[in-house]
Structure 1
Amino acid sequence: MSLTHKLSLKEGINIDSALVSAETNYESAKIELERTKISAPFDGFVEDLAKEGQLLQNGQNCARIISLSPLKIVGNIPEILVSKVEVGQDVEIKFLSGQQYNSKVIF
C-alpha cells in the first residue's frame, strides 16, 4: 500500500468519524430546540411578561396565556336598563376599535 493510499484511508476514517459526530450533534440540537417550545392545552393569546433579551431564572414565568373560552367582559349599563338585563340574554359587545362580538349575559 502506498503512502498516499494510507493517508487517503486515514482521511476517510477521520471524515466518517466527523460525520457521525456532526449527525449526533444535529440530533442533540433538534431535541434541545424541541424543549424550547412553549404551548398551552387551550386557545388564547399571549400577554408578555418578559422582554426580549431579558435573562430568566429556571422556572420563572416568561409569559401569561389568557384563555379566550370564555372571555369575561365587565361593563357598565345605565341604571334605567338594569331591569331589562337577564342572565342568558344575547348581547352585542362593541369595542373602541370598532370590533363587534355577539355574546350572552352569564351572571
Structure 2
Amino acid sequence: MQQPTYEKHLLKKLKSVQQGQRPPRQVLQSLYARMMMEYTVHEQNKARLKQRIDQALDDGDYEAFMHYTSVYNEWRETQQIGKMISEQGYELELTFDVDDT
C-alpha cells in the first residue's frame, strides 16, 4: 500500500528520538493535524495584520498604519524562527513563509 502524500512529507521532516523507527500512523496523523492548525493560524494572522495595514492606508490613518506595521514586523520576526511540535518522542520542525508577497 502506498503512503499518502502528507505522510511522505512528514517522514522527510520528522526527527525521531528513537532513531530509525517509523512512527505509528496515529502519531503521524496527530502531527499532521497540529501542523495544519499551526499553518492555518499563521496564514490567518498574516492576512489579518496585512488587512489592518491596508485599511489604515485606505483611511489615511498614519498612527494606525505605523502601529500595525510595527506589530506585523514583530510578528514576522517571531515566525522566522519557526516552531517545533512533538508527539510521543517524534519532533517536527515547522517553517513559515514570512515573505511579503
The two structures have a TM-score, normalised by structure 2, of 0.35
Which of the two has greater helix per residue?
2
Greater relative CO, 1 or 2 (CA 8 Å, sep 6+)? 2
